[in-house]
């Protein structure tokens, strides 16, 4: 995951139509941006995975309880808080921006999961 995020960030930094949309400090430091972004993705996954294992939920599994459903929803965008924290040295998202990114990511990731289930690429829709 780390190498993929870093590579994608560096490649996207070379594409002006994309990189010009980034905040200036991120455009000026694409390697640091990629490293912090990749670290945030990985770090953001860890707490949710830890809590799921503590509850006996296997990777890819879910539990049909309020906590299990909440963890499943959070699992769709658990990297957002990690990225928010790790990017802070270069660029601090406002809480409103982080919330918009989180909600959009949950919705988009959920749609991709349903599509994957519909075409047989996933065993569950969530």
SS3 13: helix
Is the predicted pLDDT of residue 126 greater than 80, yes or no? no
The pair phi, psi for residue 94, each rounded to 5°, is -75, 160
Ranges of H-type helices in 1-126: 2-13, 16-19, 24-28, 30-54, 66-75, 79-87, 95-118
CB 76, CB 124: distance < 8 Å: no
Question: Coil, helix or strand for 61?
Answer: coil
Structure confidence by residue, pLDDT tens digits, 2-56 = 999 999 999 999 999 999 999 999 999 999 999 999 999 999 989 888 888 888 8
| SS3 call for 50 | helix
In sequence order, the 6+-apart residues with CB closer than 8 A to the CB of 42 are 1, 2, 82
Q: What is the pLDDT of residue 35?
A: 97
């Amino acid at each position: 995951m780390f190498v993929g995020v870093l590579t994608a960030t560096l490649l996207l930094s070379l594409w002006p139509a994309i990189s010009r949309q980034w905040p200036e400090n991120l455009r000026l430091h694409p390697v640091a941006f990629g490293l912090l972004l990749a670290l945030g993705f990985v770090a953001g996954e860890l707490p949710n995975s830890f809590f799921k294992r503590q509850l006996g939920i296997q990777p890819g599994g879910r539990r049909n309880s309020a906590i299990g459903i909440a963890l499943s929803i959070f699992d769709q965008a658990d990297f957002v808080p990690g990225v928010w924290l790790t990017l802070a040295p270069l660029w601090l998202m406002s809480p409103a921006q982080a919330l918009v990114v989180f909600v959009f990511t949950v919705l988009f990731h959920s749609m991709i999961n349903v599509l994957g289930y519909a075409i047989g690429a996933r065993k569950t829709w969530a």
